[in-house]
Amino acid sequence: MRVVVTGASGVLGSVVYAAFKSAGHTTLGLAFSHPKDDLKQLDLTESAATESVFSEFKPDWVIHCAAERRPDVAEKDPEAARKLNVSVPENLAKLSKALRFKLVYISTDYVFDGTSPPYTPSSQTNPLNLYGHTKRDGELAVLGVTGSQSIVLRVPVLYGPAPKNSDSAVNILLDVVSDQSGKQYGMDHYATRYPTGVVDIADFLVRLSALPPSRVIPPIVHYSASEPFTKYEMCLVFARILGLPHAHIVADAEEPKGGTLRPRDTQLYTRETEDLMEGYGGLGWTPFEEWWTEYLTKKQ
């Protein structure tokens, strides 16, 4: 099978790229800002260049991980976020129709407002911030291209192997726990998140692409671990694993004031996904503390 992975230098994309390669598929990894190793540099906003690369490679599947995924950055440059999160995937959906490949558009739990979880794939979207709006509009764009073979995969906040801890909203908490300088941190104990490992998502995508034609993949799929944590609770897990005191981290259970609006609880309902993958590895996710314990023990 021939697979293209966009955003293949990012936290999710790099692991997805490695997973498809190790599964024996002919895989092309695309990156723009950090094209390293065997990745091909491509600006996906250049539609002619993108069409040329895709036409030449002739993919069976395209996993579109490239995105502006930082809510605060999206608010500062709405036009750039809209281009990357809406225009690019719409163009890829048009290419999916023309070149007859299956497109997976990675979306987010932030398309929901967090007031009435859990959310099914057909639940009403109502994003609170610009990032969520652009991802929701990206969903509508790809699913709106008649004749494209597009799948929207919504995932929550992600963690996993990353060059820098600041590359993930979860990994960065390791730096907070490790800072024993005496600096005090107020940590969010208001919003519930469902941190999900990129290694698990990559494995899921490889299995999804291998489903027999008799398994019809719905247009919107949810993938999420099911353990709830606030950011403060994640810090406590890291402190326990690292054997570090955490008195410098103070729980803040108040609703955040100011800054980019974020939903309180956007739990993704995954029963349909479990049914889809029955007999093909199920949902297949790793408990948070288990993954981090093994990962951090190996790193030490």
Distance CA 28, CA 222 (A): 25
Tell me the two tokens of residue 266.
Answer: 């956007």
Distance CA 32, CA 188 (A): 33
Tell me the two tokens of residue 34.
Answer: 């950090």
Distance CA 118, CA 137 (A): 21
> In DSSP terms, which residues pair with 185 in a beta bridge?
249
Q: Do residues 178 and 81 touch, judged by C-beta distance below 8 A?
A: no
Q: Do residues 153 and 223 touch, judged by C-beta distance below 8 A?
A: yes
Catalytic residue, candidates 17, 105, 119, 131: 131
Q: Is 131 a catalytic residue?
A: yes
Q: How do 2-6 and 158-159 pair as beta strands?
A: unpaired
Tell me the two tokens of residue 251.
Answer: 């729980």
Distance CA 15, CA 239 (A): 26
Q: How do 2-6 and 149-155 pair as beta strands?
A: unpaired
- Of 199, 183, 143, the closest CA to residue 19 belongs to 199
Cβ neighbours of residue 1 under 8 Å, at least 6 residues apart? 25, 26, 60, 61, 209
How distant, in Å, are the alpha carbons of 200, 210, 243, 286, 293 from that of 224?
A: 9, 20, 28, 10, 20
> In DSSP terms, which residues pair with 2 in a beta bridge?
26
Q: What angle do CA 95, 121, 71 make, to 5 degrees?
A: 75
Active site residue ranges: 131
